Chain A
Amino acid sequence: GAGVSQTPSNKVTEKGKYVELRCDPISGHTALYWYRQSLGQGPEFLIYFQGTGAADDSGLPNDRFFAVRPEGSVSTLKIQRTERGDSAVYLCASSNGPQETQYFGPGTRLLVL
């Protein structure tokens, strides 16, 4: 079956611009997660959705970052006033419920110039 998909695969933007990153989880998975991975590091947690609600957003670095999952399926990670330090790979994962195996998408590579 289809895995987690993310679009775009690559995004180049200028400092100060707004970006949206999309995640399509595995069909039927109720839990969805966003992580951020810098070069040479492991993924770092950003936010977790159970259904439509953000159950844990404690990993979001500041109020420029926001994520939504309005219908409990697709999620969008939104970054306002991008900074060069936001450059990273943004990974999405989904699982068949909390504390179940998380399956990752291919990531979106964001480069802020």
Chain B
Amino acid sequence: GESVGLHLPTLSVQEGDNSIINCAYSNSASDYFIWYKQESGKGPQFIIDIRSNMDKRQGQRVTVLLNKTVKHLSLQIAATQPGDSAVYFCAENGHGNNRLAFGKGNQVVVIP
């Protein structure tokens, strides 16, 4: 859903379950997409990226899926751990453009 001010969309997940975080991006010319994790009081931490010539990329416990047709990006976290609790941002970078445009954050709360 939409986030207003401090009220971020929140995903509560049981420890050990899989998490899926979704993001809709706006610029059809964007060709590079990144997921960042941000813990309270810290800067964004790079998780995984994907370029527009791919539709799936896997890392350690994380998978990013890109659907360019509907301009949708998702992050899947396998076997979610308490340390995964954070705000997750997707970001896009348009071709020839070096600035990142961040989406609305999603709060993930892992229940032990």
The answer to whether A and B come from one shared complex is yes
Instruction: Tell me whether B63 is interfacial, beta carbon within 8 Å.
Output: no
A-B pair number, CB within 8 angstroms: 60
Question: Do A56 and B99 touch (CB < 8 A)?
Answer: yes
Report B23-59 residues with CB < 8 Å from chain A CB.
32, 34, 36, 41-46, 49
Q: How far is the CA of A31 from the CA of B46 in the complex (A)?
A: 16
Count of chain A residues with Cβ under 8 Å from any Cβ of B?
Answer: 26
Given A40-B6, A40-B7, A40-B8, also A106-B103 (CB < 8 A): no
| B binding-site residues for A, Cβ under 8 Å | 3, 5-8, 32, 34, 36, 41-46, 49, 89, 91, 93, 98-105
| A binding-site residues for B, Cβ under 8 Å | 4, 31, 33, 35, 39-45, 48, 50, 55-56, 59, 91, 98-99, 101-107
